[in-house]
Structure 1
Amino acid sequence: MPVKKKRKSSGSDDPGLRKCKITCFCRPQAPGRLISPEDQFSNKKCLAWFYEYTGPDEVLGPEGMEKFCEDIGVEPENIIMLVLAWKLEAPNMGFFTKEEWLKGMTLLQCDCIERLQGKLDYLRNQLNDTILFKNIYRYAFDFAREKDQRSLDMDTAKSMLALLLGRTWPLFPVFNQFLEQSKYKVMNKDQWYNVLEFSRTVSTDLSNYDEDGAWPVLLDEFVEWQKARLAAL
């Protein structure tokens, strides 16, 4: 059989060049690693993992949560658990439903302890993003409050503020001291939201605090209290 002669390239008329004129500037791509069945996320495996911590009501409650935290090596009070609850869109502290678990773990692609442990740094890093942190902070208010109440009781508010702002806001210890001696028994949503804004925008010496601004009275009283305290030193 005679050998067919190769057709000479006709420059821009070459079909290959018409498809991609920047081919020569692209790095050759290494062939992707084939994903084995063991590497793929499994709904069945994820649900079986969930049922390790639940009772007959198919809800992961406080007892199961304690075991779950022990298995992944995270204390229940660790802020990572708050971030995880936010990812699962769980509305109630200490509880995960099957639907919340499956939706959130599918998003994280975690169907076992080891995979979630591999995501802990990722969850922690969510806190370093200003916008995501604000979302988590706001989520924490509704997550922590009693669902028949519109406000957070002050003990819960102080605990959540310590968790979220205790290590990053220099004035938190003083603000916490103010709350402990104040008349306030609860913190409403507006106050909660504004505490974060205050912590981000007001300097530690309070010199740039605008008394005529739209701050809640709670924060006006804190500034007045702190200035009087500093003047007495």
Structure 2
Amino acid sequence: IIMLVLAWKLEAESMGFFTKEEWLKGMTSLQCDCTEKLQSKFDFLRSQLNDISSFKNIYRYAFDFAREKDQRSLDIDTAKSMLALLLGRTWPLFSVFYQYLEQSKYRVMNKDQWYNVLEFSRTVHADLSNYDEDGAWPVLLDEFVEWQKVRQAS
């Protein structure tokens, strides 16, 4: 996950490599002129994940960073991998949501769905007791809640 945070700090456009310009601009903003200084920034970079505002920016950045540039959505396998990286250790319902995505009809995740998964993970209780069926959630999340309630009832 540290590489994702670093890519966010470098404002990298594509997963898998940094342009020379991205690298130099990012290293300057981090005040790093050698690998030792970059390594010394790892704790700072990790701390960005604990800041609510920074995490939200990293999470939103991850969507565009991970998607194929000619696509408007993330393929579902990439979305699942990125969600595991970003929410897997902190969202109590993550493993259940992952299972749902595994068996669902969804093959891609659009930006609205992606953004709303984070909001859902932050606001809806693990037992779904405060889920508002009349809320403005994407159908993906409505169907997840329905699926989970059926599972809980059986």
TM-score range, shorter chain: over 0.9
Shift of 1:112: 1.1
The alpha carbon displacement at 1:111 in A equals 1.3
Aligned CA RMSD, in angstroms, stands at 0.4
The letter for the 2-side match of 1:125 is: S
TM-score (norm: length of structure 2):
0.99
In structure 2, distance between residues paired with 1:147 and 1:114: 33
Q: Which residue of 2 aligns with 1:182?
A: 104
How much has 1:95 moved relative to structure 2? Answer: 1.2
Listed one character per residue, the Cα deviations across residues 78-117 of structure 1 (whole Å, up to 9, x for unaligned) are: x000000000000100110111011000000111111111
Q: Offset at 1:176?
A: 0.1
TM-score under structure 1 normalisation?
0.66
- Counterparts of 1:2-21 in structure 2 under 5 Å? none
Q: As a proportion of its length, which structure holds more helix?
A: 2
CA distance in structure 2 between the aligned counterparts of 1:95 and 1:111, rounded to whole angstroms: 19
Distance 2:99 2:33 in 1: 43
Q: Deviation digits for residues 143-196 of structure 1, max 9, x if unmatched?
A: 000000000000000000000000000100000000000000000000000000
Q: Deviations over 1:193-215 (max 9, x none)?
A: 00000000000000100000100
Match of 1:207 among 129, 132, 150: 129
Alignment of 1:87-106 (within 5 A): 87-106=9-28
Give the secondary structure class of the aligned counterpart of 1:96: coil
Q: In structure 1, what is the Cα distance between the partners aligned to 2:17 and 2:68? A: 13
Q: How many Å separate the matches in 1 of 2:15 and 2:101?
A: 23
Q: Provide the rounded CA distance (Å) in 2 between the counterparts of 1:212 and 1:97.
A: 45
Pair 1:171 & 2:93 matched:
yes
The residue identity in structure 2 corresponding to 1:176 is Y
Q: Of residues 204, 216, 227 in structure 1, which corresponds to 2:138? A: 216
Counterparts of 1:94 and 1:109 in 2: how far apart (Å)?
23
Tell me the equivalent position of 1:197: 119
From 124, 127, 135, the equivalent of 2:49 is 127
Partner of 1:62: none
Counterpart residue type for residue 129 of structure 1: D
1:158 paired with 2:87, answer no
2:65 is matched with which residue? 143
Q: Percent of counterpart pairs with the same letter?
A: 86
Structure 2, unmatched stretches of 5+, are: none
Gaps of at least 5 residues in structure 1 are 1-78
